[in-house]
Amino acid sequence: MSEGYKNKLTKNKLSIGILFGGRSGEHEVSLASARSILNAIDKEKYEILPIGITLNGQWLIGEGVLDKIADNKTTDLTRVLLSPLPGDNYLYALSTNQNLTSLVPVQEIDVFFPVLHGTFGEDGTLQGFLEMADMAYVGAGVLGASVGMDKALFKDVMRTHNIPVVESLTFSRTQIETDQTSVMDMVQKKLSYPVFIKPANMGSSVGITKCQNQSDLYEGLLEAAKFDRRVLVEHAVNAREIEVSVLGNDIPKASVPGEIIPKQDFYSYSAKYEDDNTDLLIPAPLPEKISKHIQKLAVQAYKAIDCAGMARVDFLLDKDTQYIYLNEVNTIPGFTRISMYPKLWEASGIDYPDLIDRLIDLALERKSERDRTERKYRSEA
């Protein structure tokens, strides 16, 4: 076990476990978000334990863990795990001696702060594990995370709440691989070009293709199917891209809207993380009536999926009709200092360190609310 992590069972500060990396196509994005949080979080107020998760799912701690995971040089890091037993809030190191593996308590964690974008972090799987362990954690619960992550299911929920979304179709990977001709025929019959093809469960624009013709469609379906077993095809709108940050639990609030103006054809992965030419307009140049309506829809969608803590809600504003479509809810949005989520709150009066504090407070509030729930039923005699 790494020497730097012995005898750290202190309780004079709130202990925060920052989870980053993960088994996802958004692994590198997570590292960037975590780096910004680790630089900004108040170390006088909190005891910070960075916990990196590798692409094969190992949880690791140690000196320079973020850089070492980024460089894939993890041999001197310590493997750790969290017990799913309620009430056991310790993170344990795996110690091996003479072929015997034992668990050594490293640190008690008060709140986990997941910065895990995409699968196995933002889709309800991690949240379910933390719920089993009865841990406080930042962000949406199982339901909000899983519904927010699945673009196809999310659209269905929005439709039931009369929140406008773009017309779309959903296909399984099996359909695409075994009957691609029928899939393409259905798309071309129901939707008009151009269309976007997206993995249903992925963020950061990973695996997304804008298709102008049948050839593009063929390639786009195969590309999206690499990243998820369900694929969404939706009509492409000639739209302005508007985003709103939402903060809170049962009584959430929306930030001022912001607008993204990518120099590329759409707000792709490279436009988000590799291209410095994308313009972010904060606040978005919108009539007040439209801004307020977008904020209202953002909060409505947030509540509809029982979101908590935080989310970035993305909209499409049709340039031709001025019609507003809700595109998606991102329950663990990018969290670098230049990401839209914190920048929108900064423009709304909450700076980056204060935003981190509020999210931790909301995690404790949510845990306190969960603790009020009766776990057994005893009928009266």
Q: Is 372 exposed, middle or buried (0-12, 13-18, 19+ CB in 10 A)?
A: exposed
Which three-class secondary structure state does DSSP give residue 243?
Answer: strand
Looking at the structure, do residues 153 and 281 belong to the same domain, yes or no?
yes
Residue 377, in any domain of the structure: no
Residue 357 lies in a domain: no
State residue 8's pLDDT score.
46
Q: Which two tokens stand for residue 190?
A: 């129901």
Give residue 11's pLDDT: 60
Q: pLDDT tens digits for 199-229?
A: 988 765 678 999 999 999 989 999 999 988 9
77-81 mean pLDDT: 95
Asked, for residue 374, whether it belongs to a domain, the answer is no
Q: What DSSP state is assigned to residue 150?
A: B
Q: Is residue 296 part of a domain?
A: yes
Above 50 in pLDDT, residue 6? Answer: no
Output the domain CATH number for residue 293.
3.30.470.20
- Of 235, 261, 291, the residue at which a domain comes to its end is 235
Q: 244, 276, 274, 279: which is closest to 260 by C-alpha?
A: 279
CATH of the domain at 104: 3.40.50.20
> What is the DSSP code (8-state) at residue 4?
G
CA 357 to CA 30: how far, in whole Å? 19
pLDDT of 26 reads 87
381 within a domain of the structure (yes/no): no
Reference 240, options 262, 218, 264, 220; nearest CA is 262
Domain carrying residue 296 = 148-164+238-352+362-369
Token pair of 12 as six digits: 């004079």
Q: What is the pLDDT of residues 121-177, one digit of tens each?
A: 999 999 999 999 999 999 999 999 999 999 999 999 999 999 999 999 999 999 999
Query: Tokens 């947030």 map to which residue?
Result: 302
* 12-63 per-position pLDDT tens digit: 789 999 999 999 888 999 999 999 999 999 999 999 999 999 999 999 999 9
Q: What is the pLDDT of residues 90-131, one digit of tens each?
A: 999 988 887 788 899 999 999 999 999 988 999 999 999 999
**Residue among 37, 38, 20, 41 at smallest CA distance from 29:** 20
245 inside domain: yes
DSSP-derived pairing of the beta strands 90-97 and 258-261: unpaired
Look at residue 24 in the predicted model and tell me its pLDDT: 87
Asked whether residue 315 falls in the same domain as residue 345, the answer is: yes
5 has a pLDDT exceeding 80: no
Total domains, the chain = 3
The model's pTM: 0.89
348 and 290 part of one domain:
yes
Assigned domain for 200 exists: yes
Same domain membership, residue 114 and residue 47:
yes
In 3D space, the residue among 222, 174, 173, 167 whose CA is nearest the CA of residue 195 turns out to be: 167
Q: What is the spatial distance between Cα 61 and Cα 161, in angstroms, rounded to a whole number? A: 43
334-378 pLDDT, tens digit per residue, is: 998 889 999 999 999 999 999 999 999 999 999 999 999 988 877
**Domain-terminating residue out of 213, 235, 257:** 235
Which residue has tokens 């904060």? Answer: 282
CATH number for the domain that contains residue 191: 3.30.1490.20
- Give yes or no: residues 127 and 158 share one domain: no
pLDDT in tens, 263-321: 766 544 454 445 556 789 999 999 999 999 999 999 999 999 999 999 999 999 999 99
One domain, residues 179 and 245? no
Residues 226 and 207 in one domain: yes
Question: Which run of H or of E encompasses 253?
Answer: strand 253-254
- Both 226 and 176 in one domain: the answer is yes
Final residue before a domain boundary, out of 207, 235, 263: 235
Tokens 């110690």 correspond to 95
- 17 in the same domain as 127: yes
111 and 223 within one domain: no
Q: Are residues 71 and 10 in the same domain?
A: yes
Residue 266: its pLDDT value, please? Answer: 52
- Kindly state whether residue 143 falls inside one of the protein's structural domains: no
Cross-strand bridge partners of residue 279: 261
DSSP string, 285-321: ---HHHHHHHHHHHHHHHHHTT--EEEEEEEEEETTT
The verdict on 215 and 179 lying in the same domain is: yes
Q: Strand pairing of 279-281 and 258-261? A: antiparallel
